[in-house]
Amino acid sequence: MVTPNATQIGEHTRRIVGLRLLPFLFILYIVNYVDRTNLAYAAMGMSRDLGFSDHVFGLGAGIFFISYLALQIPGALLVERWSARRMISATMIAWGSLTVLTALVHTPSQLYLARFVLGAAEAGFFPGVIVYLSHWFIFEDRAKATSNFMGAIPLSAVLGSPLAGWILGRGWLGFPGWRWLFVVEGAPAILLGVVAFFFLTDWPSEAAWLTAEQRKWLEQKLKEETPPCTAAITAWQAMRSPTIVWMATLTFLAYIGQYTFVFWFPTMLKRLTGFTDMRVGMVGALPFLAAFVTMQVNGWHSDKQAERRWHAAMPLFVAGIAYFFLSIPGHSVVFTIGWFTVAGVLTAYLSTFWAIPTEILSQAEAATAVGLINAVGSIAGFAGPYIFGYVYTRTGGSFSLGLRFVMAAVLIAGLMILRIPKAAPRISASQIVRPAPVTS
């Protein structure tokens, strides 16, 4: 029986953990996403100064994900088996330095190389944090915690879009604004990477900022909620799980919508409206502001209702409708901006979807599964923007066919989310196939 004192300890512990970790992780992810996507805005200046084509930017945006997906699983496992604070710190310092160096790009080959190594540097951050959150947040807080963390995705654009527009319109010391964009947005990652090493705590048992009673309560609560299987699994074993493969496939389709929008939205908005770079930066914040608000409400309501699947699927269905209307040419500027804003709601699915793997899998399974799911999904970070740019070029400068391709991808992803099992079959130690012993 839970005593009133235990209840008070639990509530206080949950509040302290949330206030300690979430604001800092939120800031880290804002910096992460700004650095990953600033090419979308820099492209407007680079195309003028360097003569880069849409094909170059499509490939440049996508090539990031080749190295990014290759290191997803190692990044998640490092958090689980080594140290979250060390891995996150090293990752941030590396990607911040590489973002700054992207300012030196002059040729397409240099752009491809810069994006490739940046992808490798950032690879472990996202899956690592998803696993890290499961070390600290109990079931009833996990979607809310994930939504608070992932709220950085749309908010990074709300803040980064006007900032990028302002920087692009200026130049200092003889260098154009787009070069300064990489320097100004890469430097904070280096500083925060150093701070993360000293600020983050790997496990509740190591938290000097909690009392002994609070540590004991949190460890016991997390232990009670953790599925019984504790056997670690390999990527190959994870790929033999139908549930994990299903989630990886739908993540690929959903990421087509997400990354195509992120990398092509500024260009689409500029060409469909004729806005200046500065105005694109200001108006371009609207879809991401809508996504931020929707994500917070969606995560809160998901925890309140203890329901994940419909809360993850509905933003994809709403975005699919918006993509359909955007694919119809000849609309007014107001109509176009309105449907782009609705399409931005797509990212609200992230917080509730990413609460699912850590709830239906054990910690050992989830570390590999999250890395694999995000790795497969991240292939869309290459495929989506590249295919969209290819279709745009082949159709003579029309966005319609590309938008319908994205629409189909996100609608199918939404339907697949509704079919995720309530509990995944356990991959236990006894189920792992081992070679038969040699007999004489």
Domain boundaries of the chain, sorted by first residue? 13-420
Closest listed residue to residue 377, CA positions, set 337, 417, 326, 330: 417
Q: pLDDT tens string for the chain (440 positions)?
A: 445 576 788 888 888 988 898 889 888 888 887 777 777 777 777 777 787 777 787 777 778 877 877 776 676 677 667 787 888 888 889 989 988 888 888 888 898 898 898 888 888 787 778 778 878 888 777 767 777 777 777 777 777 777 777 777 676 777 787 788 888 888 999 999 999 999 998 888 888 898 888 889 888 888 776 655 545 555 566 667 788 888 889 999 999 998 888 778 888 888 888 777 677 777 877 888 888 888 888 878 887 787 888 999 999 999 999 999 988 887 788 888 889 889 888 888 887 888 788 677 766 566 677 777 877 887 887 788 888 888 888 888 788 888 999 999 999 999 999 988 775 544 443 343 333 333 33
The CA R_g of the chain, rounded to the nearest whole Å, is 22
- What's domain 13-420's architecture? Up-down Bundle (1.20)
3-state secondary structure of 172: strand
Q: Which two tokens stand for residue 92?
A: 């941030």
Q: Is pTM, for the whole model, over 0.75?
A: no
Measuring CA to CA, how many Å separate 78 from each of 132, 169, 189, 233, 300? 11, 41, 20, 14, 30
Residue holding tokens 């006894």? 430
Q: Are the C-beta atoms of residues 414 and 313 closer than 8 Å to each other?
A: yes
3-state secondary structure of 175: strand
pLDDT at 396: 81
pLDDT at 252: 93
What does the H/E/C string look like for the chain? Answer: CCCHHHHHHHHHHHHHHHHHHHHHHHHHHHHHHHHHHCHHHHHHHHHHHHCCCHHHHHHHHHHHHHHHHHCHHHHHHHHHHCCHHHHHHHHHHHHHHHHHHHHHCCCHHHHHHHHHHHHHHHCCHHHHHHHHHHCCCCHHHHHHHHHHHHCHHHHHHHHHHHHHHHHHCCCECCECHHHHHHHHHHHHHHHHHHHHHHHCCCCHHHCCCCCHHHHHHHHHHHHHHCCCCCCCCCHHHHHCCHHHHHHHHHHHHHHHHHHHHHHHHHHHHHHHHCCCHHHHHHHCCHHHHHHHHHHHHHHHHHHHHCCCHHHHHHHHHHHHHHHHHHCCCCCCHHHHHHHHHHHHHHHHHHHHHCCCHHHHCCHHHHHHHHHHHHHHHHHHHHHHHHHHHHHHHHCCCCCHHHHHHHHHHHHHHHHHHCCCCCCCCCCCHHHCCCCCCCCC
Q: Are the C-beta atoms of residues 204 and 219 closer than 8 Å to each other?
A: yes
Tell me the per-residue pLDDT of 87-138, one tens digit each, with 9 for 90 and over. Answer: 888 888 998 998 888 888 888 889 889 889 888 888 878 777 877 887 888 8
Measure CA 44 to chain center: 24
Strand ranges, E, within 184-313: none
